[in-house]
Structure 1
Amino acid sequence: MYRAITTIVALLFIFTGLATHAEPIGYFTPDDVTYDPAIPTPEAFLRHELGAQPVRPDRMVDYLRTVAGLSDRISIETIGYSHEGRPIEFLVVTNPENQSRLEDIRTRHVALSNPDSGTQPNDSMPVVTWLNYGVHGAESSGMDAVIPVVYHLAAAKGDAIENTLSQSVILITAIFNPDGHSRRINHVLKFMSDVPVTDPAHAAHDLWIDARTNHYWFDLNRQWLLQTQPEAQAWLSKWHQWKPNVTVDYHEMGSNSTYYFHPGVPNRKNPLIPDRSRQLLKDMAHFHAKTLDRDGTLYFTEEGFDNYYIGKGSTYPHINGSVGILFEAGAARGGAIETPNGVRHYAANIRKHFRTSLSSIEGARSLAPQLLDNQYSFFQEAKEQGQKDDIRGWVFTSPDKARLAHFLDLLERHQVQAYALARDVTVDDHSFQAGDAYLVPVAQAQYHMIKGLFDRVRSFKEAIFYDVSGWTLPLAYDLDYAALNKKAWRADLSGDEAQAHMAWPRAEAPDRASYGYVFSWEDYYAPKALNRLLAAGVHVRGAMEPFSVLTSKGERHFSRGALFVPLAGQDDVDADSLYEHVTSVTQIEGIPVHAVTSGLTPTQGADLGGRSSFQSLNTPHVVLVFDDGLSKYEAGEAWHLLDKRMQIPVTLRAKSDLMGLDWSRYSHMVLPGGRAALNSRSTKRLEQWIKEEGGTLIALRQGAAWAQQALLNSGGNAKGKDKAQAPKTSQRTDYADYDVEEAKDVIGGAIFASDLDITHPLGFGYQDRLIPSHRNTTLVLATPQNPYATIARYLETSPILSGYASDKRLAEIAGSPMMVAERLGRGTVILFADDPNFRATFLGTNKLFLNGLFWSKAFRAPRSIGDEEENALAH
């Protein structure tokens, strides 16, 4: 019966012309295993063999749910949804007896991670193995491999599978990134041919970033730490509910490579990872090698990939008492592709991932005593290390309660315990006040995670990084924070345990005003509130100077950027509707709104109707340029910030299609980094739009370097490389040292400090002049002649806060502009050397980017000899 079904399916695809190098289930499964016919094979259910095409997410979910419904070995639940509403499924696979007492197994297993529980590992405990499928949507075999794995676990018969399931709990997530995978399959089907085309130039083999990422073009494999996307939030919550012993992560790499599995490069291990973890990786590797050797598969280990950045799927487990294993298959992309190692077939990649899934399960079962002991010992040692650490805790605060709440939410997701600060404490002349600050003691189970989140790392064995080298997250959130050493630490500093939802800013509805309403620009979500008011037709004025105002609750002081909503001049909004609008600011954003009783302020020269002290603000109409060599990541980060967080509509437009725009519709254009140069026609039109029509360009990284040269006629070191030729007597270097030597002068994704002009409208909303930002390029912007144009400048001395940068690069960057803003005719050009929206995590610099939307016309160019006409236009 089985052979008849597979023959019919194969014939069907011969006649329909959809098959490339598809295979029946027997191609994937071991030869010595028999299967329960009650469980449908993938080809019988999907109506095509694996490898014919990537499996659509909805069909994959249907298959997983169907098999789970037929098998007493599998339970399944939907743990979350993608941005586009696609489900993420979570399967628990073990024998029926274990299924009946699953919660008891989970509770006892997780207790091993609690150093105070008294629970120790024993032979009756099943090992817990977690299999990740599909974090990168473009890497289809890493998703589709889940299908034969689930089929095998549900249908395989015999003593071997029974022993495995009695001694294991196998956790499976599918699909990590359904939105990206959906884009991938649509692309493959769009270019599918009757005759398989193996030419790498064929369009079906293209599409990488679009499908690799989620809806907002985020790399979800960088989200284990940062936790800004719903897919990652769903799976990390479930991961910590189980705390698996082994975490397996399936990917694809360049087609010309063979097959890779951990351990990674020996010298590129994060120092927070115990040596024991690497030894377990090597022990597990023998199981994979044995399987791949049997199949004659080419593979490699300890080359190219590392375990340094703790925020990716194969490294995060190592600082959480687990072992993370990365698998990478040379991609077949469109189904079959020519490579130096022969034609690469999609079905063959599925088979490799399927076979190493089984070797991972078997390796974990065989090494269960060592893995369970690793979990137990890791957290016991963590508590002891925390008690001995010179730093006993970290204290942090911010005047912006929204950023504080976001950070507390991040700590909760990583199971780091934070507490309200019970007593005032002063560290290095900075006072942290009880009731406004929080405390994280290091002597807790998540000691390693705390070190990873808070420490500023500046010492590295090698300067080669697969990803960023610095990710000190209090800096990313621009929090005031400090380490508490033994001398500063007191047991009575810890108050009640902090809860993010309780810390979220709340505000009472304002009194009804007789003159108007005012609220601060310093809150993270103030731009969201402002845009909503402007879009509703509410007239809003922004303060150019600090001021005091008389309110129904007495005199209040406000900083630059504060927003005044007058009752007068609201032509389209009556007083009752206006009150409802400003009340929504308190209800939705939690920002206090104050009822103003008089336009005459106690502050000299800053009355609410002032000509210069206040400026009317306008609704931004934003076009975001993407594609054609621009960084999809940066475009997605800006899109996510504006659309998802701030609810500001964004028009997405390809760089190659700018001439088709109705430019008059837009007030702002965002140009990300990457290959940012526009063609001559688009450049000319852009310059006209800025100068004559008053448009504002916000350009990031390479986009900023191009704009500075093309529009502002400034020099600068756009590539960050010395132009001088090497002397003839330069020192020779062996090519064997190429990687290490070439990496010395990179910037490995580090955090830099700049001095911010908080008196400039584009610096409004900040109280502290020091602003951290994320930098991963070597480009350097030229210092403008305009003395007011450098909004933020890297510190002259010690500009790096965390991460790696060579002394050469530090010397180039020190004192150079991080943010530049120049008026150009009627418009404005705003340049960022860094990405202020990096991975939706640098909440501290988001406000700089958003200021460019609302305050880009709030400043003037300097008046100098010969430019009176241009300045007249600018005003």
Structure 2
Amino acid sequence: MRRFLALAAASALSLSAASAAPIEDFKLPGVVYNKDITTPDAFLGHGLGEKPIRHDQMVAYLKLLAEQSERLSVETIGHTHERRPILFFKVTSPEHQGRIEEIREAHVASLAGAEIDADAPSIIWINYGVHGAESAGMDAAIPTLYHFAAAQGEEVERQLEESVILIVAILNPDGHSRRVDHVETFSGAVPVTDPAHAVHNLWTAARTNHYWFDLNRQWLLLTQPESQAWVSAWQKWKPQVSGDFHEMGSQSTYYFHPGEPKRKNPLIPDEARDIAKGIAEVHREFLDSEGQLYFTEQGFDNFYIGKGSTYPQVNGGIGILFEVGAARGGAIESPSGERSYADNIRTHFRTTLTTINGTLAQKERIAEYQRTFFENASEAAGDHPVKAYVVSAGEDRSRMERFLAFLDTHDIDVHQLEEDITVGERTFSPSDSYVVPLNQDQHVMVRGAFDKVTEFEENIFYDVSGWTVPLAFDLDYAPLKLRIERGEDAGRFNANLIGEKVDDVDSRANGPVARSNYGYIMPWTDRLAGKALYRVLDEGLLVRAANEAFEVRTNNGVQDFDAGTLFVPLAGQEESPQAIHRLVQTLAREEGIAVIPVASGAGDDATASLGGASFTPIEKPSVLVVFDDGIARYDAGEVWHFLDQELRMPVTLRRKGELGDLDWSRYTHLIMPGGGRVSLPEGAHERVKRWVREEGGTLIALRQSAHWAQDAMLGGKDAAEPKKEEPAEDAEKLRFDYAEMGVRDAEHLVRGAIFATDLDTSHPLGFGYGDRVLPSLRNTSATLDWPMDNPYAVVAAYPDEGSVLTGYVSEMREGEISGTPSVIAQPVGRGQVILMADNPVFRGFFLGTDRLLMNAVFFSDLIDSPSGTYEEE
């Protein structure tokens, strides 16, 4: 019996052993390794690639290496949503470790003009594991750190003496942990190389972080704690070269930058590409020596500046992307033969070493390139027609503070506006406006964040083509063409324009709230007002929202307030006036929400009294969000993140195919994000229609779901829609060269461009917005139809002309989209159907449009149906 159990245990330990590699297979030929350093095999109990390595195992082993070796130091730079640590290693000689902060300060100072030490070490950054499903991109950290902890000899000593190697392991611990769980769940004693096996199918679910965000789009956006941690560390060090390690489809071989020549962001200097090509020669030499297949300068681009290999290139560094054909389940069949997890780990480890050697081979050139990049900022600013940008969020303090924090993390200088300035029809006030000068070290990054780009050398994009940050935040902003200088001559031509540099984002805390004997007003102008509203509703208090602008007597006299303003009365509440006052005090202190005590139920003009019909009670929302089964995880995660993290509202997540047995009476809102196959199953479809029409539910449908819902819930396309004309028999026949197919196929795709929309700010979904122009990120070409029976239903529409603000859109697609609805709110029976052609919470970054979703959740009951019928005039 014991022998049987021992054999069974041995079988369990040999899970996918055919693809495993002992550490001996990773050691460099002729290199002696310190036997006092614990090997991965000894710690883990198996070879690399034999089975997934849990995050806690990796953390424990890598920390042990740092304890055992004077060459490694480690710190925790952040934690994930699931509270896992993000480890940051500094790898260099023991002598450098003793003065590591001095080295960092000297390096950063050299970029600001200080003298360069010829013996200063190169600063090299390595990203491992931004995508949780990409196993080799994470596990390569183990042989790399073991190698530098244990390898002996002149070569490794030289590398450690001439460089400081900064390693983030792992960038995405939450996604990594989901991958491990998936592979362990579907693995057996015998490896299965069939690509159809479930063990190999774990793309988005494990690729993303806790809220299903693609973290390799977050280097610019910074909405997630992981990216905030890495970018803060990256900017603190400003590395010269950054390597970013990934996996791609199993059918592919091995890829490394410099990437497709025509798909480079114009802000990236050409020399960066030349340096990357020089480093690529070292990768080639290694891969050729082993007969490995690879490709470069094909497929992958350097356009969107929010990716880990492109972000460094607009910040003075060299970014290098590595991709290997995935073997996520251990071993998998591919057109190039069987691909193994262990081989992928080893190749990424070895190209990490070639990145270091390739950098050191161009050590002086790279140091001079980076120094010149920042030194040229002043000259580039002088040549640029725009000298600064002035920005404001008006009364929305939280949106402005998020923007200031964004600039600070990217090391962009921002100043207070010192005096009123009028640009066009907009006057910017020092009370809520700031100035971002282009004459600063981060000149290129300012351009990357603020520029509008609508013309491109090529129309093929790996990611979005437009991301102008002030548009995403819906800020009032304007370019200034005044001359702005720093140093002793600061403000020589506009001495009163630029105020003090903003070093810290102000606290949102407000002062004490005076007691009221009547109730409290909370304006709807701040984007975090929704968070405060839910907190009040969750306490069981009654809240009323204004349907129109009004005036009221407060403790400070008569004041005017806009539609959407919230009123918390003392009358009719179950809580005492003392308890209500304590709550609003807490909201003012913790959320920074303005709370105004009310002295009377009306102002001098009593046409909109607080107790009248122009105020509507707000129901506490109970939100259901569907995901999977054709709904895009990215879209669903962004909705979930906004409601949960931003509004602190509980959200019920349910797979789209599992709606049949729900108790619909407990939900007020159903949100259907976009995706590829969004239609509801027949039974669920009919149940949702009844829930909306008869039970007063609100359906909020986004992107592709909006197009399905318009047809399925609102009766389909209008019969008067013009039919496409059939081509004439003698029409010219089209014929193109096959080589043009890629570019022509991409010509009419809408790749993440920002469109202007005209927003009805008097509509409940428009409450809290200051003006009618609302930028919106659009990445689909499908359009909503105009509703013919309700002229009040279109809340926002794309203008007939000039709809594209930034990003690539073909002339044909712009013509199709212009003049169509962007947001529709249509009462149906007792409920509402709200359609949004775009995703208002795209990547958690569009702080301008996310209010649309917040208003749809809180204010859907404020939307009335017209009382009559209308004909076209």
TM-score by length of structure 2 reads: 0.95
Whether the 8 Å CA contact 1:113–1:321 is kept in 2: the answer is no
Q: How far off its partner does 1:864 sit?
A: 3.6
Name the residue aligned to 2:35: 37
Corresponding residue for residue 5 of structure 1: none
Between 593-602 and 541-550, report the one with greater CA deviation.
593-602
Matched, 1:796 2:794: no
* Mapped contact 1:509–1:593 kept (Cα < 8 A): no
Residue 22 of structure 2: aligned partner: 24
Relative distance call for 1:12 and 1:106 in structure 2 (3 A) is: farther
Quick one: structure 1 residues 175 and 716, their matched pair in 2 at CA, closer, same or farther if it must change by over 3 Å?
Answer: farther
Task: Give distance in 1, aligned partners of 2:398 and 2:510.
Answer: 12
Aligned equivalent of 1:870: none
The corresponding residue for 2:668 is 667
Change (3 A) 1:788 1:588: same
Describe the shift of the 1:72–1:487 C-alpha distance in structure 2 as closer, same or farther (beyond 3 A). closer
Q: CA deviation at 1:295?
A: 1.3
- The answer to whether the 8 A contact 1:10-1:49 is kept is no
Question: Take 1:203 and 1:402, find their aligned partners in 2: how far apart are those partners?
Answer: 44
CA displacement at 1:123 relative to structure 2 = 2.6
Q: Structure 1, residues 566-606: CA drift from partner, whole Å, max 9, x if none?
A: 11111x21111111122222112212211111113323521
Deviation at 1:19, TM superposition (A): 2.5
Inter-partner Cα distance in structure 1 for 2:220 and 2:121? 27
The SS at the match of 2:196 is coil
The answer for the alignment partner of 1:3 in structure 2 is none
Match of 1:591 among 576, 586, 593: 593
* Code of the aligned partner of 2:417: L
Give me the whole-angstrom Cα distance separating, in 1, the residues matched to 2:766 and 2:564.
9
Deviation per residue, 1:827-852 (Å, 9 max, x gap): 10111101100111100111110101
Alignment of 1:231-250 (within 5 A): 231-250=226-245
Question: Is 1:412 aligned with 2:386?
Answer: no
Cα distance in structure 1, aligned partners of 2:393 and 2:247: 42
453, 459, 463: which one pairs with 2:459?
463
- Alignment of 1:349 with 2:347, yes or no, is no
- CA offset at residue 294 of structure 1? 1.1
The equivalent position to 2:545 in structure 1, one of 542, 556, 565, is 542
Q: Secondary structure at the match of 2:50?
A: coil
In structure 2, distance between residues paired with 1:14 and 1:593: 63
Deviations along 1:17-63, one digit per CA (max 9) or x if unpaired, are 45241110121222221211111111111111111122111101111
In structure 1, what is the Cα distance between the partners aligned to 2:9 and 2:522?
70
Matches within 5 A, 1:42-441: 42-114=40-112, 117-120=113-116, 122-399=117-394, 400-441=396-437
Instruction: List aligned pairs for 1:667-706, cutoff 5 A.
Output: 667-674=668-675, 675-706=677-708
Q: How far, CA to CA, are the matches of 2:650 and 2:718 in structure 1?
A: 33
Indicate the SS of the match to 1:843: coil
Which residue of structure 2 aligns with residue 871 of structure 1?
none
Does 1:731 pair with 2:728? no
Q: Secondary structure at the match of 2:733?
A: coil
The separation in 2 between residues aligned to 1:712 and 1:851, in whole angstroms, is 21
Paired residue secondary structure (1:130)? strand
Q: CA deviation at 1:498?
A: 1.5
What secondary structure, in the 3-state scheme, does the structure 2 residue paired with 1:533 have?
Answer: helix
> Residues of 2 paired with 1:803 and 1:774: CA distance?
10
Equivalent position of 1:657 in the other structure: 658
**Displacement after TM superposition at 1:865 (Å):** 6.0
Structure 1 stretch displaced more, 281-290 or 422-431: 422-431
Residue 869 of structure 1 corresponds to none
Tell me the alpha carbon deviations over residues 194-235 of structure 1, each in whole angstroms, 9 at most, x when there is no partner: 111111111101111110000011111111000111011111
2:867 to 849, 860, 863: 863
Displacement of 1:296:
1.1
Match of 1:517 in 2: 520
Match of 2:487 in 1: none
- Report the equivalent of 2:760: 757
Q: Residues of 2 paired with 1:407 and 1:310: CA distance?
A: 17
Counterparts of 1:18 and 1:746, CA distance in 2: 42
Alpha-carbon shift at residue 711 of structure 1 (Å): 0.5
Instruction: Indicate yes or no: 2:440 matched with 1:444.
Output: yes
Contact 1:88 1:178 in 2 (8 A): yes
Name stretches of at least 5 consecutive residues in structure 2 with no aligned partner: 1-5, 485-492
CA contact (8 A) 1:81 1:88 kept: yes
Counterpart of 1:692 in 2: which secondary structure? Answer: helix
Tell whether 2:773 aligns with 1:777. Answer: no
Q: What is the alpha-carbon distance in structure 2 between the residues aligned to residue 496 and residue 278 of structure 1? A: 38
Shift of 1:499: 3.7
Report how many residues are paired.
Answer: 852
On the 8 A contact 2:258/2:280 being kept in 1, the answer is yes
Instruction: Say yes or no: does 1:627 pair with 2:628.
Output: yes
- Relative to structure 1, the CA distance from residue 606 to residue 66 in structure 2 (aligned partners, 3 Å threshold; closer, same or farther) is same
SS of aligned partner of 1:625 = strand
Residue by residue, what CA displacement relative to the aligned partner does 1:112-151 show, whole Å, maximum 9, x if unpaired? Answer: 221xx3323x431111111100000000110001100011
Matching residue of 1:4:
none
For the residue of structure 2 that corresponds to 1:266, the secondary structure is coil
Question: Which secondary structure state, in structure 1, belongs to the residue aligned with residue 413 of structure 2?
Answer: coil
User: Secondary structure of the residue that 2:101 maps to in structure 1?
Assistant: helix
Choose the corresponding residue for 1:810, options 810, 814, 837: 814
Q: 1:163 to 1:826 in 2, by over 3 A?
A: same
Query: For residues 152-207 of structure 1, what are the alpha-carbon distances to aligned partners after superposition, in whole Å with 9 as ceiling and x for unaligned?
Result: 11111111111111111111100100000000000000000111111111110111
Structure 1 residue 522: deviation in Å?
Answer: 1.1
Q: Counterpart of 1:452 in structure 2: which amino acid?
A: G
C-alpha displacement at 1:365, in angstroms?
1.3
Q: In angstroms, what is the RMSD of aligned CA positions?
A: 2.0
* 2:488 aligned partner: none
**727-736 vs 514-523, which moves further:** 727-736
Distance in 1, matches of 2:459 and 2:655, equals 35
> Residue 840 of structure 1 corresponds to which residue in structure 2?
844
CA contact (8 A) 1:79 1:90 kept: yes
Report the AA paired with residue 746 of structure 2. A
Distance in 1 (CA, whole Å) between partners of 2:782 and 2:392 is: 33
Q: In the TM superposition, what is the alpha-carbon distance from 1:433 to its structure 2 partner? A: 1.0
Which of the numbers 713, 716, 739 marks the counterpart of 1:714?
A: 716
The Cα offsets for residues 51-110 of structure 1, whole Å up to 9 and x where unpaired, read as 112211110111110011000111111111111000010111111111112122111111
Quote the Cα distance in structure 1 between the aligned partners of 2:723 and 2:566. 44
Partner SS state of residue 339, structure 2: strand
Unaligned regions of 5+ residues in structure 1, if any? 1-7, 867-875
Residues 29 and 854 from structure 1, CA distance in 2 versus in 1: closer, same or farther, beyond 3 angstroms? Answer: same
Cα deviations by residue, 1:506-548 (Å, 9 ceiling, x for unpaired): 3222211111111101111011111110110110000001000
Letter of the structure 1 residue corresponding to residue 290 of structure 2: D
2:751 touches 2:807 (CA, 8 Å); kept in 1? yes
Indicate if the aligned counterparts of 1:337 and 1:343 stay in contact, CA closer than 8 A: yes
Contact kept? 1:762, 1:791, Cα under 8 Å: yes
Q: Distance in 2 between matches of 1:500 and 1:266?
A: 40
The alignment-based identity, stated in percent, is: 51
2:131 maps to amino acid? H
Query: Could you tell me which amino acid in structure 1 is paired with residue 478 of structure 2?
Result: A
The alignment's TM-score, normalised by the length of structure 1, stands at: 0.95
In the alignment, the residues of structure 1 paired with residue 440 and residue 503 of structure 2 have an alpha-carbon distance, to the nearest angstrom, of: 17
